[in-house]
Amino acid sequence: MSSPQGPSTTTVIQQAVEEDSSSGGIVGLLKRQLQQSLAFGTLIVLIVFFSIFGPNFFTWSNISGILLATAVIGILALGTTFVIITGGIDLSIGTGMTLCAVMTGVFITKMGLPMWIGVIGGVLTGVVIGLINGLNITFLNLPPFIATLAMMMIAQGLALIISGVAPIYFSGSAPDFKQIALGTLIPGLPNAVLITLALALVAFLVLNKTLLGRFTFAIGSNEEATRLSGVNTRRWKILIYMFAGAFTGIAGVVLAARLDSAQPQLGLGYELQAIAAVIIGGTSLLGGRGSILGTVIGALIMSVLINGLRIMSIQTEWQNVVTGIVILIAVFFDSLRNRSKT
């Protein structure tokens, strides 16, 4: 039996774009530009502050380290942007990233597969995690928070079980593996940074120029109207989580290459930094609004903040306190933006 006649797919997408612009096209555009400008201004203030009060902060070696650290958070945040725009959340990206790193290590060092096949296997592990999340959310009707929280714990457990609670080192089996992250195709700039920039461009094009991106906004703006228009929202949500999972897999490979090992006890906490980066960049937790440029700026803010606190010899416990406060502030301002919409 055919579904009831509803608005066309094009109409739904147009409605999503109109709703995303809040108070009208020009006003909405100005609001988004203002949010990104504020985020960029915050980044500049942090850089100036830590340059004054943090010894050796504004040196090329430290800046290069910040960019290298941003790579992992940034790649995770790029994929998470799509999920949050739909109105969902993914708490599994941190431990999922660790599982992808561990699987990459297993494929290369224990199964003896060529390095490039191991890398693909690690990325596909992320895609499978995204697929399971998407199926649990769409077909079991589990809230994204619960579904991805469960996956976070499952991925953490599997990473420990598969690795035997021991790091997997690549130096013996694949000495060139670390070049994925630490090599320098451009002198002075780690390859991990180039990978992040390339992925940011891909994410930007997908979000703004493809059906996947358009339905991401449409689902986040009004999922029911999108479904009634004849769009298979279940299928598209699964694809969105799989797409985000691919970014999780790539982040796992990059992190493993950066450390030249798969550390099964890492990963927990990365999801909060990535989500914070997305929210700081202007993406709404309620869905329907977000940008890749804003996410990149948000990821840089998180990396600069964490690095600056370390340069100033702030204890790890207080670093966590400050990071938590930043997340709280970001969510508070997102709530204010959503109130202004209504």
Tens digit of each residue's pLDDT (9 = 90 or more) over 273-299? 899 899 988 898 888 889 999 999 999
Residues 130 and 245 sit within 8 Å (Cβ to Cβ)? yes
Examine residue 120 and state whether it is found in any structural domain, yes or no.
yes
In a domain, residue 9? The reply is no
Mean pLDDT for the stretch of residues 181-195? 93
The answer to whether position 213 is within a domain reads yes
User: What tens digit of pLDDT does each residue of 3-38 get?
Assistant: 444 445 555 555 554 444 443 455 555 566 666 678
pLDDT given at position 33: 66
Q: What is the pTM of this model?
A: 0.89
Does a structural domain hold residue 67? yes
Number of domains in the chain: 1
Evaluate whether residue 199 is within a structural domain: yes
> What domain range is 126 assigned to?
31-46+57-336
By percentage, how much of the chain surpasses pLDDT 90?
65
pLDDT band at 269 (very low <50, low <70, confident <90, very high): confident
- In-domain check, residue 292: yes
CATH of residue 232's domain is 1.10.3470
The answer as to whether 2 is a domain residue is no
Angstrom distance (rounded) from CA 140 to CA 286? 21
CA neighbours closer than 13 Å in the CB half-sphere of residue 254: 25
Residue 311 lies in a domain: yes
Q: Average pLDDT for residues 33-57, to the nearest whole number?
A: 84
